[in-house]
Amino acid sequence: MLALIQRVRRASVTIDGAVVGQIGVGLLVLLCAEQGDTPAQADKLLAKVLKLRIFSDAQGKMNRCVQDLDGAGSHGGLLLVSQFTLAADTTGGNRPSFTQAAPPDLGRALYDHVVQRARALHSEVATGVFAADMLVELVNDGPVTIPMRVPSN
């Protein structure tokens, strides 16, 4: 499983002119399932995302995770967006190959799994729509952008 995590001041997903998901301060997480990925890998990736310490503490050090953020008794936001293009292979020329991306049925199942588990573990979760043509807007804070991969066992 692959993820590209961006610490944001705000982020949103728009489809056909309608905002379908948005957060304030938190994490925009672009997710990609690859061939052979499993729900166990998805769970491991989500656990790492939720505990990733990339928010500043009182001393200005990146020492807090999205679940440490408070504001009206809630955590920072989590915006989960499917993005198969993270699996792009650009070694063979100028046109990327996406053969390592999971087939759509598996990709959707793993994305839905991550969304369901995230909603069970975190108070503020928004999403895009799997396989939709989305406009993703964000204000990257820092900027802080972290690639993450959870390899198969």
Cis peptide before 143 (omega within 30 of 0): yes
- From the list 35, 85, 99, 116, the catalytic residue is 85
Is residue 85 annotated as a catalytic residue, yes or no? yes
Is residue 127 annotated as a catalytic residue, yes or no? no
For 5, 81, 132, the CA distances from 89, given in Å and listed in that order, are 20, 20, 22
- From the list 6, 41, 83, 127, the catalytic residue is 83
- From the list 84, 90, 98, 127, the catalytic residue is 84
What's the CA gap between 83 and 85, in Å, rounded? Answer: 5
The burial of 56, by beta-carbon neighbours within 10 Å (0-12 exposed, 13-18 middle, 19 or more buried), is given as: middle
Active site residues: 83-85
